Structure 1
Amino acid sequence: MSDRKQVVLATRNQGKVKEFNKLFAELGWEGISLEGFDGVPEVVEDGDTFEANAVKKAVTISTYLGLPAVGDDSGLEVDALHGSPGVYSARYAGENATDEANWRKLLGEMDSVPDEERTARFRCTLAFVEPGQDPVIATGACEGVIAREPAGTNGFGYDPVFYLPQMGKMMAQLSPDEKNQISHRARAMRQLLDALK
């Protein structure tokens, strides 16, 4: 049995679990995904903000399992699309859409948008809940530009089409360590770690 504090990550996305655990290592914590638990209720993400969805996930999972939990909701906000896909990022091309289907739909909708108007950001909101306590909320953002063509094989989601001018490459071309320096989730995690320390 590990003597590290275990925190349930309200996700089945193994990409997210990896990112969290790299950052949790600083607190000596271990994040466990929902894969390890039977009968956990499926949380319907019906909030109209990232915060509402993150809190709902964390509270539901923490209450059900009686363990501390982190809920995360994140997505892509594109200025030319008035902040879309936003909370619908994971299902932009429909329920159960693949990452590629989502970013292909985005590129299609952005086809006629000039380069200087393709600004966007990844935004992440985290909610940490101990059973019976109020949530601790943290947010982070990472600014970039929607590219015209995908590149890179790292990461997940919209990473292949999210260009980082300051790095001169796509999010999907960053190593996991580089991504953990600058990503929206890393920034939200930093804020959360500071709040929890």
Structure 2
Amino acid sequence: MLTFFHAPNSRSTSILALIKEMGIEDKIDIREVTIRRQDGSGGPDPANPHPDGKVPCLQDGDDLVYERAAVMLYLTDRFPEAGMGPLPGEPKRGTYLSWLFHYQGVIEPLMMLKWAGIDNEVLRYQMRSFEDAVAHIDAALADGPWLLGERMSAADLLISGLFLFAKIEPEQPRVRDWIKRCTDRPAEKAAWAEDNAKAMNA
């Protein structure tokens, strides 16, 4: 059985939502761990195998998977029957991989730079801006309700989760509607409700 190391109300909540969306909770041992929070609370958990003491982290025997995009790709490939990610050789596989890696390498770093108030000419040249990244999402959604067109995938949960977590409301109506479609899904609501309840009882 796979083991998922999760800290409530963190970046790993989107993985919890994906696990629920895929209907694979009975195939994964979910273990809660502590992490160092931005407000200075918490701290590293010796039970967490993540090399940086962060989440999410997924353990499959001797194999360790971390970074949200990597964990999502691993789960959607490992449990293809859930249909949350195109497999090698299937249509839109390349688009799916591109969105996962674009999120990890461009979208989230740009959001963090915006959050930190950092603006640099070299960074703008290499990665553009967070506003450009949102415009890219908006353009993709012109072809369908999801990033892959008519098919929802883990990429939708991954990227929409950033806006929810960071409490960012984009100006583009199409992007706002897409975020609402993602966050209104029963699995997403259940994951955040569980985490919020735990935070209130902590």
Scaled by the length of structure 1, the TM-score of the pair is: 0.34
Larger RCO (CA within 8 A; separation ≥ 6): 2
Structure having the higher strand fraction is 1
Structure having the higher helix fraction is 2
Scaled by the length of structure 2, the TM-score of the pair is: 0.34
